[in-house]
Structure formats: C-alpha cells, structure tokens
Amino acid sequence: MTRYLTVGLLAEGPEDEIFLGTVAVRQLKELASHHSGHFDVGDTPLRGRYSTARTAHEQICAEAADLAEDCDLLLIHNDHRERNKIEKIRQDVVLPSHCRIVGVVPVRETEAWLLADGPLLGSLPGAVPAHIPAGARDVEKTADPKALLARVLPGGDSRELAGFLGERVDLDRLRTLPAYQMWCAELTAALKELRFL
C-alpha cells in the first residue's frame, strides 16, 4: 500500500522557498522511486507565512507547531551562519508523533546550491560562463554565493531563476555537495523513523 507524505517548509526568503520546495519534492520523489514507491508526495510543500530569518523565534515556533499538525516532514531552512536556529526550534516545539523536523542548511547560502549545475547555468541566456564555478563542489568554497550568482546571471529575476533551477538542477550534481549529502542523510533517517522507508 502506498502512503502519502505531507511536507511543510519554513524558509528564510521567497527565493529559498521556491528553490528548496521544488528540489525537496524532486529529491523525495526520487527516494520513493528507489524504495519501490512505498510513498508518494505532492508537488508543492505546505508553506509557512513567515521568514525564518526575519521573524521572532516565538512566532516561528508557533508557525512550526501549526504546520507540524498537518505534516509528516517539516523542513526548516536557515543559511549556514544561522544553523543554531533550527536546533532551538527543535528544542522549543512539541511535535506530534507523526512529524519530524529536518533542517535544510546549505553552506553559506541557498545560492550555493543554485550554482551547483554549471552546465545548466551556462546554457541560460545572458550567462557569463567565466564566473561559473569549475565544479559543483567548488560552490561550497565560494565566500558569497549570492553575489557570484548575480555575476553569472546579471540582471535576472531571482524568483524566476529559483523556480527554473529548482525544476531543472541536476540532483546528482547537488549530491556531490557535503551540505546536500548531510541533508539527504537527515531526510532519509527521518523517513525511516516514520516508516516511509
């Protein structure tokens, strides 16, 4: 029997929400297909109303508790320098037994993950190939991924780009990144705890 997995997402900003929500669904669907389709997941995560970067901790905790009631997995995104916020939410939110929190913490910023697929970026109109990192793993060494992405694709609409790359980024390239590997490992562990895998 196939179970349905409900996913929620709290992110720092709208671009993060667009990109990470799409990538999370793709990654979860791939995990399901590798495990004989024991679960299915919808195309869009349930989303919070508030930014994890600009909202008071108590309000984020209340939002997380509300979303957790309707979710099996609650993905909470913060950039690397804010990693401790996720642990504080885990400590302060009482989750229902059917839900697990999984942190999504790219090294530096989410834009590092947007930069992971050099060939895809290079194929976009207006791309400046000279600024594209040589290899996927190089993106996590970039001091300012957001600024680098702006140099690679100057003048682009950041939300539109986040959606486009979220739908098309090569997940195998993302899986070469240590931070992405850690996220996938935590995701898999949570799915096993919940008996989806």
Give the per-residue pLDDT at 150. 94
DSSP 129: G
pLDDT-flagged residues of the chain (< 50): none
Give the per-residue pLDDT at 165. 96
Alpha carbon distance 113, 162 (integer Å) = 10
Yes or no: say if 120 and 169 are a contact pair by the CB < 8 Å rule. yes
Give the per-residue pLDDT at 37. 62
Q: Residues 134-182: pLDDT tens digits?
A: 888 888 888 899 999 999 999 878 899 999 999 999 999 999 999 999 9
Q: Report the chain's C-alpha Rg in angstroms.
A: 17
Give the per-residue pLDDT at 71. 96
Residue recorded with tokens 């909470």 = 76
3-state SS assignment for residue 104 = strand
